[in-house]
Amino acid sequence: MLRIVAAGSIFFPGLFLLSKRCLKNGLGWSEGDATIVSARLVSSIQAIMASSAGYVIASSCKDVIEDQHWLTSTYILFAVPYFAYDIYAMFLCYWYKLQVKGHEEDIVRPKPVGSAVASYLRREFLMVLHHVVMVTVCFPVSVFWRQGKGDYFQGVMFLAELSTPSVCLGKVLIQYKKQHTLLHKVNGALMLVTFFICRVLLFPYLYYAYSRYASIPLYTVPLVAPWQCNLGAFCLMAPQVYWFTLICRGAFRLFTGASRSQSPASQNKSDKGCCSGKRNPLPPPANGYSQADTETGAH
């Protein structure tokens, strides 16, 4: 068990450092650009690995309660260090976003690290909380409390990560001001669909799968399921629904052209004018869930 956790603890930070070094030394990227793109790359790779494991597990379990697959606990142990690493990686992204062009106030008067950490935790509270819960609650529940039951459901939950690569690509495109490209629009549509299916419909599907297994009406499943399962499903689904609403708002702005109502030139001019004090000097949240300029994304 400890060897698998140690392997994950080495793999994800190591992949991040390797990617950053290649981008800096091989392509001559800046420290900030290399850090942000490397963090998105690691998140995408983890998502592909988790989705692949989830597909293998779910397709192998015929009995949704009793069937077991060795990959279930193995991948949970391997992936749990990722969530601890990602909290730090998100902070690095936030830190470097404070220094991007257009946030002159932060460049002239850079924040101390302690102040930046406090600001990061305020802006990213929900995402950081999500990661902490994954490590402190979901990890022990999935590995120990289940007692080998319900590997099928765990595999299906791994499939939630299918939406992450498109989310990460969207964040990168937004970071480099490619919001109005065809690639961003296509990726935005893909993100909207995959997030809704893999993260919002996921939980109703789990109840539906159990209703078929137990041959009971769907509406009675919450009544017969353990209260811990209902509470856990609600706590995991609630932030997904919230983030999905932000994605929908961003998609509406993108596809209706609302975000293009003001040209970039006029935006730059207004930023330097008398109203510049009204501009928010902070970058968008590192997790991408912003209501402005389609800066919507997800972990």
Q: Is the pTM of this model over 0.85?
A: no
Cβ count near 29 (within 10 Å): 17
DSSP 8-state secondary structure symbol assigned to residue 145 = I
pLDDT value for 205: 95
Terminal Cα-to-Cα distance of the chain (whole angstroms)? 26
Predicted pLDDT of residue 148:
81
Structure confidence at residue 270 as a pLDDT band (50, 70, 90)? very low
DSSP character at residue 105: H
CA 240, CA 297: separation in Å to the nearest integer?
Answer: 11
Measured distance CA(251)–CA(130) in Å, rounded: 24
Sign of CA dihedral 266, 271, 272, 277: positive
| 103: pLDDT strictly greater than 60 | no
User: What would the pLDDT profile of 63-85 be if each residue is shown by its tens digit?
Assistant: 999 999 999 999 999 999 999 99
Alpha-carbon span 229 to 248, nearest angstrom: 28
Cβ neighbours around 49 below 10 Å, total: 17
Q: Within 10 A of 249 (CB to CB), how many other CB atoms are there?
A: 15
pLDDT at residue 288 above 80?
A: no
